[in-house]
Amino acid sequence: EVQLVESGGGLVKPGGSLRLSCAVSGFSFSTYGMNWVRQAPGKGLEWVSSISGSGIYIYYADSLKGRFIISRDNAKNSLYLQMNSLRAEDTAVYYCARDTVRVLDYWGQGSLVTVSS
């Protein structure tokens, strides 16, 4: 059974940093691209970043470049999102999702990040 479990969310002050993790099981992690997608309260889905199975190809939403860093550890079956210089508008539920040729076919349950003083 495919499972994706996010962790690392919480309350952080503006300007602070946070690192999200996504632990996966049930499939060959290194052969799939992975994505982070976020959803602000009451809003639609917003794609954040994607990384190829090897970690070589990485893409970011233009609005986030320079502040967020996606990475993965295939030996640990884990995906990460390092978030720096956080702002109030980064408050959202962050989902990790498996990528099968640009189809996000499995999603985690989400991790809430709240940026507030």
Partner 1 sequence: QSVLTQPPSVSAAPGQKVTISCSGNSSNIGNNFVSWYQQLPGTAPKLLIYDNNKRASGIPDRFSGSKSGTSATLGITGLQTGDEADYHCGTWDSSLSAVVFGGGTKLIVL
d(CA 66, CA 60): 9
CA distance 98 to 2: 10
Which residues 51-70 are close enough to bind partner 1 by CB under 8 A? 59, 61-62
Residue among 1, 56, 102, 117 that touches partner 1 (CB under 8 A): 102
Among 5, 27, 30, 46, binds partner 1 (CB under 8 A): 46
Rule CB under 8 A: is residue 104 a binding residue for partner 1?
yes
- Regarding 1 and contact with partner 1 (CB under 8 A), the answer is no
45 touches partner 1 by CB under 8 A: yes
Residue (73 or 105) nearer to partner 1, CB: 105
27 φψ region: left (φ > 0), alpha (ψ -120 to 50), beta (else): beta
In whole angstroms, how far apart are CA 89 and each of 71, 73, 113? 22, 28, 10
- Tell me the window of 13-21, 42-50, 67-75, 78-86 that interacts with partner 1 (CB under 8 A): 42-50
Rg of the chain in Å (alpha carbons): 13
Q: What is d(CA 87, CA 81) in angstroms, rounded to the nearest whole number? A: 15
Give 62 or 117: the residue with its C-beta nearer to partner 1: 62
